[in-house]
Each structure stands twice: as C-alpha cells, then as structure tokens.
Amino acid sequence: MDGATLHEVATRTAMGLPAVEETQPFGEGALVYKVVGKMFVMTTELRGVPIVNLKCAPPHGAALVRDLAEVTPGWHMDKRHWITLTPGDGIDETLVEDLVANAYDLVVAGLPRAKRPIDPVRRTLLD
C-alpha cells in the first residue's frame, strides 16, 4: 500500500465510526482522530513519508512489530500502547481498517460508560 492510500483508508475508517472528530492539535500536517476527546489515530508525515499512529493493545502491537517491517513502535508516542504504520507491501486495506477499528474500541472501552458512544463489546450504538 502506498502512503496516500494508507492515509486515505485510515481517515475514511476513523471518520466512519460514531462520535469521531478530526482535529489538528499538533498543527498543520498532523490530523488527529478522537472519540469523546480521546485520541486513537493520527495521520502525518515523518521525513516526507506518510505514517499512521494508532493505539494498540500491547501484545497485539508487539506481534505486529515483530512480524511486519511496516509496523514500528509508535513514533512520538508511548511505545507499549501505540504503533506506527508506514507504506509497504505488508500493509493492506483490511489490516488498516481493522487496526483503526481496534484503536477506536480500545479508547471507547476506557471511557466511563455514560460517555461511550457504542458498546465496545457488541459494537452497537448506545442511546
């Protein structure tokens, strides 16, 4: 997957989830996707290369870092809880969509129940 497609898939997937807002708290060039004010994905460039930072459960992130050259510990983030995706043949649309949805679910699960836009286990909207 090339860098433009990586950003496009991550953005499309994030914005398709309930209660997501796109922000730029780090200035131009870095788009941050938040649910109820909590960041779960960031798209930006590192030395001219498009990257995506995602929240990830530590065991899952460690396995991805071990198995895929395009996945590294989170750039400028907590290295245990965040990963960085870079363009390459090991990344495909399904993987990016799944990782964005998983990042969203992790953040939602950590929110107080009254603030959750969805049930993170059943993936159903809450009233």
Note the pLDDT of residue 117. 82
Domains of the chain in start order, with CATH, are 3-115 (3.90.1150.30)
> What global pTM score does this model have?
0.89
Q: Which of 53, 61, 46 is nearest to 11 (CA)?
A: 53
Does residue 124 register a pLDDT over 80? no
Q: Which residues contact 102 (CB under 8 A, 6 or more apart)?
A: 54, 56, 57, 60
Confidence class for position 76, pLDDT limits 50, 70, 90: confident
38-46 and 49-55 strand pairing: antiparallel
What are 17-55's pLDDT values in tens digits?
999 999 999 989 999 999 999 999 999 999 999 999 999
Q: Which long-range contacts (CB under 8 A, 24 or more apart) does 67-70 make?
A: none
Confidence class for position 107, pLDDT limits 50, 70, 90: very high
